Structure 1
């Protein structure tokens, strides 16, 4: 067996791996064979060859590109490459393109499988005088650290102080209102908030809608959201059987209002046996806990590119 790197036509050639005595591999069956290490695009590689029996009963020759560096690096190596088997009779390659991430738990890329009977075909030049020629060409390769992997990265910074802010607001003339009722702004977790009430309006027909809105959301960066746990309560002034709903949501400049369009049916709000509406007054309470800040960033990977020219 021998490996070589050649120059041809002004372009970097593949790494070629010639195997004499291919029948030995066929006779031994399950053994795995590795080429010597070769360098391409700043990393070290090997070819791995084996024979496998698939579920269809056919035997296949499997050729893989294996990375020699990934096991010792705290990063992934992304590579775009080609695998070849040279047809010695027709002077051409059969090939497969691959694009893989190599890391400590996966040193091999995708495998190029060719049926063993194709090697023994009289019309094929893959096996001549018990000799085969395999190859690999690494087109581009670059390391990607765990923190710099290309893509969209979301980061949630949680607060240590999770003291809730409880705010109570008295709404007057509720049933007479034909518009949204808004509380004064109140501070919680470093942001300003308001309670919005929809008393049987067209958008919340036959119901009371209750919402929490971030009053200063427009000042947030476009990729920043505030992660909030909140409760909205309509107080029962007679029986203390309050209506309370709790949720967690991300508030941002584009999504600054969360709540319940059908917090309670309008019939239940007006029910005289309940204490939700007295003298056309209702009391709504908001409990707000700012859990943290969520940011989204698009990361571009720094690449060491190997171009064939």
Structure 2
């Protein structure tokens, strides 16, 4: 998977705002041992401004991981929830050690947007957090904090990033085509059904009574008849099925396939769809008066474009 790449967005005042940096934001919580013993709960600080953007801290009590329990601290971008923007921030998260006057901190960078407005997590093991020797909890008081070093307004850089894109269709109503084939026992050559339309493209079923390499099987394929008109970078994503109807017992024989059709790959199907022995078996009901019925269901899921 290709990782998203962002560039500074000049339309959104994307210049570096380090010059507007404020002092570290510190958040003190009293009676902290009681909330730490309540289990998994979430607490938010008030909002604060740093590097021209609005933030708040989020505290998770208690995170579970690797059989251990943790206190987790996050930085949240307040505006990212409602605005269609991406903010890149370089920042620190810390828990203040009150006995030794120093911070336990984690520094890094993150992108904040409407679907991911929380950054990385600064985790402290719960047993360490509660230990009187750690200095993190003194007189039942703890201090958390964040320092935003730099922040940028960004946009997604699509050049060189997107290798392929799939545009999905909203209307997924299948097109059902029924093909009645008579005189099956006399078949000696390839048969083609009539052309039918589905999802804006033209299709037809192709039936091989016995391919040389699969002479004991019935082979069936779906062909996109107008595939030559497609761009060399365009592929059509199709969900289709073949169903040989059991005219006696309604125990039909069905195959479902998903495939990308293109100008160079215009047909797809199954060489060994069903053995000729099974087709001819009177108890299976696939032949009635030397006639079989094949149904094709075709749904165009979307169009795939190669960059």
TM interval, shorter chain, is: 0.5 to 0.7
Deviations 1:265-287 (A, max 9, x none): 23345669989599xxx766554
Cα separation, 1, equivalents of 2:306 and 2:151: 22
Q: Which runs of 5+ in 2 are unaligned?
A: 1-17, 37-42, 157-161
Q: 2:196 aligns with which of 187, 206, 220?
A: 187
Residue 203 of structure 1 corresponds to 213
Cα separation, 2, equivalents of 1:67 and 1:241: 59
Residue 8 of structure 2 corresponds to none
Residue 35 of structure 2 corresponds to 30
Residue 304 of structure 1 corresponds to none
TM-score, normalised to structure 2's length?
A: 0.56
Q: How many Å apart are 1:15 and its aligned residue?
A: 4.4
Cα separation, 1, equivalents of 2:142 and 2:172: 66
> Per the alignment, in what secondary structure is the counterpart of residue 30 of structure 1?
helix
What is the 5 A alignment of 1:209-288? 209-221=219-231, 222-225=233-236, 227=238, 229-233=240-244, 245=254, 247=256, 249-250=258-259, 252-253=261-262, 256-269=266-279, 276=287, 285-288=293-296
Cα separation, 1, equivalents of 2:246 and 2:32: 83
Cα separation, 2, equivalents of 1:44 and 1:157: 38
> Per the alignment, in what secondary structure is the counterpart of residue 158 of structure 1?
coil
Q: How many Å apart are 1:44 and its aligned residue?
A: 1.0
Give aligned pairs, total: 266
Which structure's CA Rg is the greater one? 1
Cα root mean square deviation, aligned: 5.5
Q: 2:303 aligns with which of 273, 290, 295?
A: 295
Cα separation, 2, equivalents of 1:193 and 1:54: 54
Q: How many Å apart are 1:16 and its aligned residue?
A: 1.1
TM-score, normalised to structure 1's length?
A: 0.56
> Per the alignment, in what secondary structure is the counterpart of residue 45 of structure 1?
strand
Residue 83 of structure 1 corresponds to 92
Cα separation, 2, equivalents of 1:295 and 1:251: 9
